[in-house]
A and B are shown apart, each in its own frame.
Chain A
């Protein structure tokens, strides 16, 4: 099955700086790569996703890049703010006959230092 590795497990950055979280996946058939944000005590929520037919996608301060050849994808957050503090999970999946569940990375705890 799919295996998703996520690094680093903890990332501390100064407010206003950029943060980058990296993930690799093992199944070359995977074609959908979402990122979820989970604030303390709350449920995970999708912040951005990318499909394998594009290499980059941006949404305001957040961007995701995908390198299918190397089987890795990254989340970039620019101009970090205190509300960006959370645990971020990358995931991978592929289109199946019906649904396919997501395989998640183990998460990155992002800490924004004031």
Chain B
């Protein structure tokens, strides 16, 4: 059974703080993704990675960076958190190519 876990379910940070969100998958998937989900806007792709140390910008990368040092782990970094980054963050992983993405439980981040 595929398991994708995220480091926190809920997180509250202050404006200007550096925030790390971590995602771990146990299925040896090549691809990993970070999305944010906002009411009425669906899921929007922030960054993705198809291999260790590789990263690609998604549709809304501004204000975010990522790190993938190990195959099973993909981190999303908010260099200086702002209130407009308050959102639900979802990590996903999949085998190489176009295949089913398995999502983590999400991290609800509030920036005050």
Contact = CB atoms under 8 A, between A and B. Distances in A.
Given A104-B44, A105-B42, A43 B58 contact: no
Interface string B40-75: 111111001111001010110000000000000000
B97 A95 contact: yes
A95 B98 contact: yes
A104 B105 contact: no
Interface in A1-45: 1, 6, 9, 31-32, 34, 43-45
Contact of A43 (B54, B97, B104): B104
A98 B54 contact: yes
Interface residues of B, number: 29
Contact of B50 (A1, A44, A98): A98
Contact of A46 (B33, B40, B56, B101): B101
A103 interface: yes
Contact of B98 (A9, A93, A107): A93
Main secondary structure of the interface of B (DSSP, over half): loop
Interface residues of A, number: 26
Nearest to B38: A106
Contacts of A100: 48, 98
A94 B98 CA distance: 8
B106 A43 contact: yes
Interface of B: 30-31, 33, 35, 40-45, 48-51, 54, 56, 58-59, 90, 94, 96-98, 100-101, 103-106
